[in-house]
Amino acid sequence: MREISKEEIIARISQGAISSCKILPKEVLARLEQALNDEPSPLGKKALEILIENARIAAKEELPICQDTGIAVVFVELGEDLKVKDLIEAINEGIAKGYEEGYLRKSVADPITRKNTKTNTPAVVHVEIVPGDKAKFWVLPKGCGSENMSKLKMLPPAAGIEGIKDFVLETVREAGPNPCPPITVGIGIGGTFEKAALLAKKALIRPLGKPSADSTLAELERELLTEINKLGIGPLGFGGKTTALAVHIEKYPTHIASLPVAVNIQCHAARLSYFEI
């Protein structure tokens, strides 16, 4: 059985935390540049120009894309043939190291006392055991301007596809400029109350714009992206047709009497890093 050292996990998580906060994923930058060419609104176009310039300066000068460097969410796919000691501890040590050495703002606090933990830990960690002897990590520092605009609703099954669409559009419409659009919309459908929320968050780690492997969901993603961009919110809320860059949907079987739907919104600073050990 292959073993991964705690030290390697700490080092790689630290690097992931820093890079995700300073380097916008290439597919996100490419989509922003495409949107700039397609955006008819002068104010919307100017906002996109500023966002693109900001991302390039951040990468060149090794500065955070945004002052909100988020709460660290880490997804792990852990091979069942791997031996790993103190995984959660290693992840948290890596996050603390990355936020300290990368000069990233530490924003994590006790929910009641509001006392800052001063390390940006603990991270929110989701571990899935999978076949094989590899470990895959996604580091998703989530800013809360967008996180706070997210919603979950327990729809009646009779609401169907139209009910899902209405809820998603209502959520984005009410969010308006608050999540700093252009946004990515992660949607979780099915499972239970907590599973739908997890699916919506997990949808955000899919490479931007990569359609669902499920043809029905892929079509729904295209329809919702079109409808969202008709809302006219536009880049940073200044108007235009670029409110969202992508819609990603994940689903899971649910109870015959239930239809949970969650919407998790990501801002234009779609921080994400991926690595495999």
3-class SS letters over 186-207: EEEEECCHHHHHHHHHHHHHCC
Task: Confirm whether pTM is higher than 0.85.
Answer: yes
pLDDT in tens, 205-225: 999 989 999 999 999 999 999
Mean pLDDT of 114-127: 98
Mean pLDDT of 173-186: 98
Residue 179: asked if its preceding bond is cis (omega within 30°), the reply is no
Nearest to 102 by CA among 116, 115, 81, 119: 119
Backbone φ and ψ for 246, nearest 5 degrees, come out as: -165, 155
Direct distance between the N- and C-terminal alpha carbons of the chain, in angstroms, rounded to an integer: 14
Kindly tell me if the per-residue pLDDT of 7 is higher than 90.
yes
Q: Name the pLDDT band for 197 (thresholds 50, 70, 90).
A: very high
Mean pLDDT of 245-258: 98
Backbone φ and ψ for 249, nearest 5 degrees, come out as: -120, 135
Question: CA 194 to CA 171: how far, in whole Å?
Answer: 18
Token pair belonging to 37: 């060419």
Q: Name the pLDDT band for 90 (thresholds 50, 70, 90).
A: very high
What are the CA-CA distances from residue 115 to residues 105, 108, 120 (Å)?
Answer: 15, 8, 12
Domains and CATH numbers, the chain: 2-22+65-142 (3.30.360), 145-269 (3.30.1330)
Percentage of the chain modeled with pLDDT above 70? 100
Tokens 């919110």, residue located:
233
| pLDDT at residue 115, rounded to an integer | 98
Kindly tell me if the per-residue pLDDT of 238 is higher than 90.
yes
pLDDT in tens, 18-71: 999 999 999 999 999 999 999 999 999 999 999 999 999 999 999 999 999 999
Kindly tell me if the per-residue pLDDT of 1 is higher than 90.
no
Residue 156: asked if its preceding bond is cis (omega within 30°), the reply is no
Tokens 């099915």, residue located:
190
| pLDDT at residue 209, rounded to an integer | 87
CB neighbours of 39 closer than 8 A, spacing ≥ 6? 45, 48, 234, 235, 240, 241, 242
The alpha carbons of the chain give a radius of gyration, in whole angstroms, of 19
Establish how many alpha carbons lie within 13 A of residue 231's alpha carbon, considering only the half-sphere containing its beta carbon: 27
